[in-house]
Structure formats: structure tokens, C-alpha cells
Amino acid sequence: MYQYDSFDQKIVEERVKQFRGQTARYLAGTLSEEAFLPLRLQNGLYIQRQSPMLRVAVPYGMLSSRQLRKLAEITRTYDRSYCHVTTRQNIQFNWVSVEQVPEILKELATVDMHSIQTSGNCIRNTTCDPFAGVAQDELADPRPFCEIIRQWSTLHPEFAFLPRKFKIAVIGAQQDRASIQLHDIGLQLTTNKVGDYGFKVWVGGGLGRTPVLATPVREFLPQQELLAYLKAILRVYNRYGRRDNKYKARIKILVNTLGIDNFSTQVEEEFERTLSPEYLLNLEEVDYARSFFSSPEYEAIDEHKVQADLLLQGQLNPPFERWLSRNTHEHRVDGYSIVSLSLKSSTQAPGDISAIQLEQIAELAERYSFGEVRTTQQQNLVLTDVKQSDLFNLWLEATSLKLATPNIGTITDIVCCPGGDFCALANARSLPINAAIQQRFEDLDFLYDLGDMSLRISGCVNACAHHHIANIGILGVDKKGEEFYQITLGGQSGEASRLAKVLGPSLPMDLLPEAIERVIEIYLRERTDHTERFIDTFLRLGSRPFKEHVYGKSH
Amino acid sequence: MGNLIKDGGIVNDNWQLIESLTDDEALRLPEGDLILPLVLWVQQSSLFEQRGSWPGLWIEGNQELETIKHLIALAPVIAVEFSAFTDGSGYSTGSLLREVYGFEGELRAFGELIIDQVPYLRRCGFNSIALPDGQSLEDGLELLMNSGLTYQGSVFSPRTPFKFRYSKVGS
């Protein structure tokens, strides 16, 4: 993975020093609340309902064992011995004090980490495919470009005060595991006719109050021109994006207002007129970035023998077989697997992870996966390079750490925001809904039979849990001071991204789990057989039978 | 405008910012170096043409530049107003003036700015920065002088992040 050089180290240390000064000015009263707000946000510091929250950047989801241990140490010293994996692959500390944040940032800087631009109206942490570098369907590794974008966007002087937040995601595979169409800019590595690398570029995606899927704006952008083109898009947005209404300030609104053709013309004009050689990446620097992400030393493995062993282990241990089927994924190298560690169970908030777990995962990663882990947009962790002959032992250990719930990609792999329990913006709590659904679908055989399904819960229209792209989405709404919940059905993420539609009137909390169960009843009754996924049944039938069963025929 | 940060020091500003003119003034413009809002600048341009010296040009952060291209070439000073410190459109406007319109005169930022923005402004091409009351020029200048390494360089000498670093490692 990428290692800071003295240049990166200096930049981050200077930023820590600067933020220490800003915090001191704020606490001394010489920096107003109003002026401190955007400055602290650009350092990931929110003032929440119960305590300030600090969001730490995990660039494109990569963490080393050393970093995991430092995070564990920070949660013990400055927080309540746990932290939280966000839907944008970052880490959040929920119980910090403003005074101590500069100290935390200093600690983070010792392990190549920071919280720069994890919030605020600027370019946020670049996200990526959690299987980057090991996916079977990958054309090229997106991470070198993620790192280049990370550096380019860090403290960029022109784009620190944009109309609204700005998110970029990059993939190099066929399957889109990073939901690039939901980002302000989505980039997919591709090649042109002569085999040169470049990107297909999407623009104007985003969720929130007005969910929009991004539109292609360039079919092929040569890799050397990446930063010049990003600059052109950002500059058009910074000049013409709306600033009068924060709900109409994202680039998706500008793209929509101008129309994609007009927007594209403006970007291309801007690109052409400022395309000087200084903005072009040369291939040596791309190679240099790539050198940080070279493959680890894989062993040559007798695939057939390992497969036979796994088959036997699975037959003797059905729970292991279920875990293999749900929580491991194909690796591009024979004899290796990608393993998801589930942060979802009935006893925890989705994405929460304790100091002890952090440390033990650091150790698992060292023993089984070259000392690295990835965070995912589904709020789980991934070990990318596990020898298949180690899977059984890893499963045993992960089970004892409560990280082996075999529910990846199922209805209990719930993505959920902190909701009204923590967040000042929320209209309703989301964690109790998560707990209720977890309990209803606790039976693992039943869960396994239900198969692929996604469920996401957002506590308000800001849609931090991305409920619009879930097969089953739940949105908290406020009805005369009471917590109500809207159900949406039919959303999908990935290359077949699709926005869900509202099923019917919102329901009070006590009726919601029952309603979700009714949605599942229709699926089980109507699916052609157990291989037809929930989303396919839904798309085949439409929402009507679901609606009738949830609300009764009178609706 | 009083004092401002200019080219790495704090200097007394001799430009006068004229927001509007009475009818009388319009007939006989005040003496000295003036900065006029775009509309006035255009209205009074024949007078200045007679005088043989052009006033400074005051524009909004999101001013369309293509339509005032010919004025950019004439103005000795362009002062970009930041209506709120959270409105960053002026950073792009400044960059464009330097990068695309080849403006080489004094490029000034003024309005609702805070000292923390001084280094960013400088890197976007502003060589003079006026701060509102309550923001210390000395502190702003100190931030500017102590601003360290950057990944992007500035509009005067932009670079890609690894430009001068990749050769160091013989990978």
C-alpha cells in the first residue's frame, strides 16, 4: 500500500499544526463559531447531538495492521474503546472532545493518517472497489490513481470552498463494487482501441434529497489527462454551481439544469483552454504510484488439493460451508480467496468495531493477509489475500471474535446511519430498526435461503445509508414529532444501479418489522425458485403485490 | 481599503474603492487611483480614455469573464469580491484571470475573507489581499509566509503531485 514520503509527512504535520492553531483561536474566542465551522468540518470534526464526532480518512479503504492498532489506541485514550466504519470507507470516532482533536490528529499523523477533507464543501476522500488489485474481473488496479487523486485534491487551493461536498470514486473492474454512478464523478478504467489506458467518466450522481444516477460525460479520457480533466469539471462547477440553496448546490443539479450536452461542452472548452503540459501526468509518475500497489508474494498452490480439503471441511461443518458461500469471494490468484469480515450482527450497530476487535483484526491480517485490510461501503472489512488452506482456521478465529456472521450480501448485512441516537440531523432513530430486523432474521438457515438482498436504513432525507439504492430501503421521517418510516423497494447498486420507489404511506416504528416481514413473504411466495433473487422477483412483479400485502387491498 | 497584504508584505493601499457616484461626481471623477464596479467602469470609460489612465476593475467572484475580456486587458488592478468566505467561486475566477486571460496586473481579493484563506488565495494568483475588520493582516501574512509544501503548486507554476518526487526512488 502507499507509504508516505517525507513530503506527505510534512504536509500532514503542517496541517495538524494549522488546525491546532485554529482550535486554539476558537477556544480563545478570537475565531468565531461561524468561521470555525467550515474549518473544523474540513478537518472532519462535527458537533453532534451528544458529543463532537471526528471522521478520519481511510484513503480508498486501505488500512494496515499498524494503522488498525493506532486506531484502537486512539479509541481507548480519547474515545469509548470503539469506532465506526462509514458508508464512504472512513472511520468515525463518536465521543471525542474538541480540545483533544489536535492531539488525535497528531497521533494519526504518526501512521500516515489524517482527517483532511472528510467533511465540508470540498473534495472528499476518494473511494474505490474494496477488491481492487485482487478482483478476478479487473482490467487494471484503480488504487494508484486513487492515490494520485488523493494527493491532488488534498488542500487544493481552488476547490476548498465549493458550493457543496464533492465525491469521486474509481474502479478498474467490470463489476462496480464502488457505486461510481452515485458519485459526483465516477471513473472506470478502460482501454481504447490501441490498448492505452484511460477512463470512462461519469458526472452528476448523488443521493440525498434528490437522488440522481450519474451520466457519462467522456467515453475515453487518456490516463495522462486525468487531473487536467478533473480540474476542468471542478472549475465549471465552482464557477456555476448554485450557492443560494444548499439543497440545490450539488453538481448533479448543475448538470441537470444545463443538460449533459451543454455541461459537457463547457467542461471540454475549459479543459482545452487550460491544457498545459504541467497538468499532465507522465507515465513514469503513474508507474511510480503503481509501484506501491504491486502484488504481494503469492505462493504457488495446488488448487485441486485445497478445493478438495475445503469441500470436506464444509461437509463436516455446515456453518463453515455457509460462511464460505456468503463471506468469501473469488480471487484472481489460484488458491487464494477474498474474505469479508462481517460487522453486522444482532448485538452491534452496523459498522461499529471495538478496540479489541481492531487489534485482533490487525493480527489476523498479519497472519493471513499480508498485514492489510480494506473497509467497504457496506460497512464491513475485507481481508483480500487469504490462502484457501487458511480459510478454516481464519473462520474459527473470526467466529470467536464475532466477525464471522455469514450474512454478507443478505438482508441482515444492513447498512445504517447512526440516526437519531447520535446525529443532530436525523428525523428518526435507525439503530432500533436495525436491531429489530436483525432479530427477525436471525435464523441463519432462513437467511441463507433468502439469498442476495440489500437493506439500508437512513434516519433522514440526507440519505447517509444510501437507502435509495437498496432492494429494501427504510427512511426515517418526522410526522408531527413522531418517528415514522417510509419503505422503498427496488433499488440496486453497482453497474445496474437503480433508484428505489416509495411503497406506500410511512409507518410507525412498531409496525415496521412486521411490514418488512410481509415484503419477504411475498418474495418467498412468488419467486420462481430459490435462485431468483429478491430484486428479480420485484422487477418481474412490480410493487403492487408487495404493497397489497403490506397495506391491505384497500390501498 | 486601508492596509493590505501585497506581494509578501503589508502595504498602505492607495487605491480607492468607489461603490457609486453621485451625478456631480460622475461629471468630475475624484482624483487618484480608483477601483470601480464593472458597470461604472463601462459607463465612465470614455472619461478615462481621455485621461489616458484606466481605473481598477471591481468584479464579483462569479463574474463571467469572456464578455469582459477587452477590459481585463486594460485594467491595472482587478479586485475580486468574495461575498462570503464560504463562497469560493472567486478562487476559480482568479485562477482563470491569470491562466487563461493572461492578466499580469495586481489581482486583489477583498470582501468576507478570513486569514486562513490567505495562502489559498495567493496560490490562485491573488497577489494582493484585503481583509475585513477583525482579521489581522499580520496573522494572515504570517500564515502566508509559513505556508509550506503543496501537492499542486500554484497557478503560476502548477504541477502534478509526484512531479519532483518519483525519480527519488529507484523502484
Q: What is the pLDDT of residue B1?
A: 59
| A554 pLDDT tier (thresholds 50, 70, 90) | low
The band of B26, judged by pLDDT with boundaries at 50, 70 and 90, is low
Q: Which residues of A touch B131 (CB under 8 A)?
A: none
Across the interface, do B160 and A152 touch by the CB < 8 Å criterion? yes
The pLDDT-based confidence of A202 (bands split at 50, 70, 90) is very high
Whether residues A22 and B116 touch (CB distance < 8 A) is answered with yes
C-beta of residue A373 within 8 angstroms of C-beta of residue A365:
yes
Count the residues in chain B.
171
Partner residue facing B166 (CB), from A38, A121, A288: A288
CB contact (8 A) between residue B162 and residue A148: yes
- Count up the domains in chain B and report the number: 1
Query: What mean pLDDT do residues A413-440 have?
Result: 92
Does A102 score more than 90 pLDDT?
yes
Averaged over A59-83, what is the pLDDT? 97
pLDDT in the model for residue A347: 84
Is B87 within 8 Å of A161 when comparing Cβ atoms?
yes
Contacts of B157 in chain A (CB under 8 A): 278
Q: Cβ separation of B150 and A239 shorter than 8 Å?
A: no
Q: Which residue of B has its CA nearest to A239?
A: B89
* Domain ranges in chain A with CATH number 3.90.480.20: 6-109, 303-400
> How far is A293 from chain B, CA to nearest CA, in Å?
12
User: Considering chain A, what is the average pLDDT of its residues?
Assistant: 95
For residue B148, the chain A residues in CB contact (below 8 A) are 10-11, 14
Which of B152, B159, B167, B171 to probe by mutation at the A interface, max A CB count within 10 Å? B152
For A249-301, how does the pLDDT look when each residue is reduced to its tens digit (9 = 90+)?
999 999 999 999 999 999 999 999 999 999 999 999 999 999 999 999 999 99
pLDDT tens-digit profile of A133-165?
999 999 999 999 999 999 999 999 999 999 999
Whether the predicted pLDDT of B168 surpasses 60: no
> Whole-angstrom Cα distance, residue A363 to residue B160?
37
| Assigned CATH class of A6-109 | alpha beta
Question: The domain spanning residue B17 has which CATH number?
Answer: 3.40.50
Asked if pLDDT for residue B169 goes beyond 60, the answer is no
Residue A11: pLDDT band with limits 50, 70, 90: very high
- Does residue A314 sit in helix, strand or coil? helix
Strands in A6-89 per DSSP E: 45-47, 52-56, 62-64, 82-85
A269 touching chain B per CB within 8 A: no
Cβ distance A11 to B151 less than 8 Å, yes or no, reads yes
The model's pLDDT over A302-351, given as tens digits with 9 standing for 90+, comes to 989 999 999 999 999 999 999 999 999 999 999 999 999 999 988 889 99
**Does A274 sit within 8 Å of B166, measured CB to CB?**
no
Q: What is the mean pLDDT of residues A175-199?
A: 96
- The pLDDT tens digits for A339-362 are 999 999 888 899 999 999 999 999
Containing structural domain, residue B94: 3-168
> Cα B53 to chain center, whole Å?
19
- Encode burial over A363-383: b for 16+ CB neighbours within 10 A, e otherwise: ebbebbbbbbbbbbbbbbbbb
pLDDT at position A453, please? 96
DSSP bridge partners of B54: none
CA–CA–CA angle A43, A45, A46 (5° rounding): 145
Percent of chain A with pLDDT over 90: 91
pLDDT-based confidence at B167, cuts 50/70/90? low
CA distances from A61 to A54, A153, A228, A362 (A): 17, 17, 25, 15
Residue B160 phi, psi dihedral angles, 5° rounding: -85, 155
Contact call for A35 and B158, based on CB within 8 A = no
Alpha helices (H) along A483-533: 512-526
Q: Give the one of B87, B157, B165 whose C-beta lies nearest to A243's C-beta.
A: B87
Average pLDDT rounded to a whole number, residues A183-192 = 98
- Phi and psi at A206, nearest 5°, equal 165, 160
**Closest residue, chain B, to A38 (C-alpha):** B86
Contact yes or no for A458/A465 (Cβ under 8 A): yes
Cα separations in angstroms, A274 against A159, A270, A280: 16, 6, 11
Rounded to the nearest 10 degrees, how much is the dihedral formed by the CA atoms of A65, A69, A71, A74? -170
Q: B62 vs A273: CB contact, 8 Å cut-off? A: no
Instruction: Provide the pLDDT for residue B170.
Output: 46
Residue % of chain A over a pLDDT of 70: 99
Nearest CA-CA distance, residue A101 and chain B, Å: 19
Nearest CA in chain B to A39: B116
- Quick one: pLDDT at residue A387? 97
ipTM summary value? 0.95
Chains A–B, number of C-beta pairs less than 8 Å apart:
110
| Statement: A303-400 belongs to CATH 3.90.480.20 | yes
Distance to chain B for A158, nearest Cα, Å: 5
pLDDT tier at B27, thresholds 50, 70, 90: low
> Helix, strand, or coil here: A192?
coil
**Looking at CA atoms only, how far is residue A58 from chain B in angstroms?**
19
Q: Report the residue from A156, A235, A285 with minimal CB separation from B163.
A: A285
Which residue in B has a C-alpha nearest to residue A240's C-alpha?
B62
User: CATH 3.30.413.10: which residues of chain A?
Assistant: 134-291, 415-551
**CB within 8 Å: A162 and B85:** no
The Cα angle at residue A364 between residues A359 and A370, in degrees rounded to 5: 115
pLDDT band at B68 (very low <50, low <70, confident <90, very high): very high
Averaged pLDDT, B47-58: 90
CB atoms within 10 A of CB A19: 23
The C-alpha torsion from A440 through A444 and A450 to A455, rounded to 10°, is 50
Is A246 part of the contact surface with chain B (CB cutoff 8 Å)?
A: no
What homologous superfamily does CATH list for A134-291? Sulfite Reductase Hemoprotein, domain 1 (3.30.413.10)
**Residue A195 CA: distances (Å) to CA of A129, A223, A268, A290, A294:** 22, 12, 23, 18, 21
Nearest Cα to B160, choosing from A230, A89, A16?
A: A230
A47: which strand partners? A52
**C-alpha to C-alpha distance for A183 and A494, rounded to whole angstroms:** 12
Distance CA B23, CA B146 (A): 47
Q: What is the pLDDT of residues A433-464, one digit of tens each?
A: 999 999 999 998 999 999 999 999 999 998 99
Three-state secondary structure call for residue A221 = strand
The answer to whether the beta carbons of residues B61 and B83 sit under 8 Å apart is yes
Chain B interface mutation, best of A34, A39, A114, A239, highest count of B Cβ atoms under 10 Å: A239
Q: Which CATH architecture has domain A415-551?
A: 2-Layer Sandwich (3.30)
Query: d(Cα A348, Cα A452) in Å, to the nearest integer?
Result: 22
- CB of A143 within 8 A of CB of A133? yes
pLDDT of A555 over the 60 cut: no
